[in-house]
Amino acid sequence: MSIRLSNISKKFGPFQALSPLDLDIEEGEMIGLLGPSGSGKTTLLRIIAGLEGADSGQLYFGDRDVTQVHVRERHVGFVFQNYALFRHMTVAENVAFGLQVMPRKQRPTAAEIHKRVSQLLDTVQLGHLEQRYPEQLSGGQKQRIALARALATQPEVLLLDEPFGALDAKVRKELRRWLRSLHDELKFTSVFVTHDQDEALELSDRVVVMSNGHIEQVNTPAALYAQPNSRFVFDFLGNVNVFAAEWQQSHWRNGAAFLVPPAQPQLQQNGAVYVRSHELALSDKPNSQANLPFEIVSITPIGAEVRVELAARGWRSEQLWEAKFTHHQLQAMGLKRGNLVFVTPQTGYFFAEQGDGTATRLNWPFLPPGSIVFDI
């Protein structure tokens, strides 16, 4: 079932949790609501479920206006962050609950309910735990039971609030894949909330990035990564290094450091250059287009990658810069802690001070007409 939100807003007292926003979710889509805490993503999810009422706007499931429909009439599956299993019921009773509380006319017979519960428990691969109580299960098992319970009434919309938040990394990854395959198999429309960008990017068909009650950007994970439309999205989607640039004498300058942009008039102003940690190169000398001196503060292997932390030397940066390399690359460069190095961005995104807030994508080294790139 498709979901359409139009002009939805919500206030908690004086706090504007959601500014009026629109969102279209297509049938069978898997949407990730991504944002820091307090960005309104959970509020939005709860409004879709009907657990929270919107102050303004309309909400449609398909063509049906459900704005005023009570949560129990909306027939959505909802998976809570802390599972919210009924502790005094066995696993089987938990899963059967939604079927047992149906109005008498629609309610399946006891035998049918039993059969359906067994099927669901098999789907979540926990048939053998039928008679256990929730407290006897691990976090991952609880999460799967919560999911089975939500799916028991065959909802067309499944809503998940930080579904994997409380699980350890390995179980998380496993459950993520499993949820995705379940989604593809059963073809319900899913919306999930997360603050983990990896999770959002891996799992969703489209990601909704939110901050301060606004939708910042809605797009596919790939497009979002390639074209972040605001500084916020950029910041939130991954570690990013910032060069605060002042336009002076045809250079972006900051103390002793400088970058030379391509010769386009809209770039010739103050702003900030964003550089991702794996889109830059290190060398032992600057060149005519980039002079960003750093001292290596630490070299930390993290799994397959090595993270190099860099402190600006001779110019100001609010935070340490980060560069990521493979072990192999790093070995070839022969870097050590305390070395002085120069960064050359390969790809950067320029946010102009006077502009519409969107980024201009730049690639180095480029060749301005009539000049030669040379090392200083």
Nearest CB to another protein, comparing residues 158 and 296? 158
Is residue 75 involved in binding another protein (CB under 8 A)?
A: yes
Stretch that binds another protein, among 49-57, 202-210, 240-248, 324-332 (CB under 8 A): 49-57
Is residue 113 involved in binding another protein (CB under 8 A)?
A: no
Is residue 80 involved in binding another protein (CB under 8 A)?
A: yes
Nearest CB to another protein, comparing residues 101 and 110? 101
Minimum distance of another protein from residue 176's CB (angstroms)? 22
Minimum distance of another protein from residue 272's CB (angstroms)? 42
Minimum distance of another protein from residue 303's CB (angstroms)? 33
Minimum distance of another protein from residue 70's CB (angstroms)? 8
Which one of residues 34, 45, 61, 78 is an interface residue with another protein (CB under 8 A)?
78
Interaction pattern, residues 7-26, with another protein; x per rule: CB under 8 A: --------------------
Is residue 71 involved in binding another protein (CB under 8 A)?
A: yes
Is residue 69 involved in binding another protein (CB under 8 A)?
A: no
Is residue 256 involved in binding another protein (CB under 8 A)?
A: no
Nearest CB to another protein, comparing residues 68 and 250? 68
Is residue 253 involved in binding another protein (CB under 8 A)?
A: no
Minimum distance of another protein from residue 356's CB (angstroms)? 41
Nearest CB to another protein, comparing residues 77 and 261? 77
Task: Check if the beta carbon of residue 351 is closer than 8 Å to that of residue 359.
Answer: yes
Which one of residues 11, 62, 97, 239 is an interface residue with another protein (CB under 8 A)?
97
Site size with another protein, rule: CB under 8 A: 32
Minimum distance of another protein from residue 189's CB (angstroms)? 15
Compute the C-alpha angle 228/232/233, nearest 5°: 35
Residues 123-182 that bind another protein (CB under 8 A): 133-136, 149-150, 152-153
Distances (CA, A) of 204 to 9, 85, 117, 209, 221: 24, 26, 28, 12, 7
d(CA 358, CA 223): 14
Nearest CB to another protein, comparing residues 100 and 250? 100
Minimum distance of another protein from residue 5's CB (angstroms)? 18
Minimum distance of another protein from residue 57's CB (angstroms)? 21
Minimum distance of another protein from residue 52's CB (angstroms)? 10
Nearest CB to another protein, comparing residues 89 and 333? 89
Nearest CB to another protein, comparing residues 138 and 220? 138
Ramachandran quadrant class, 327 (left: phi over 0; alpha: psi -120 to 50; beta: rest): alpha
Distances (CA, A) of 165 to 193, 198, 211, 359: 10, 12, 19, 32
Give the residues lining the site for another protein (CB under 8 A). Answer: 49-51, 71-78, 80-82, 84-89, 97-98, 101-102, 133-136, 149-150, 152-153
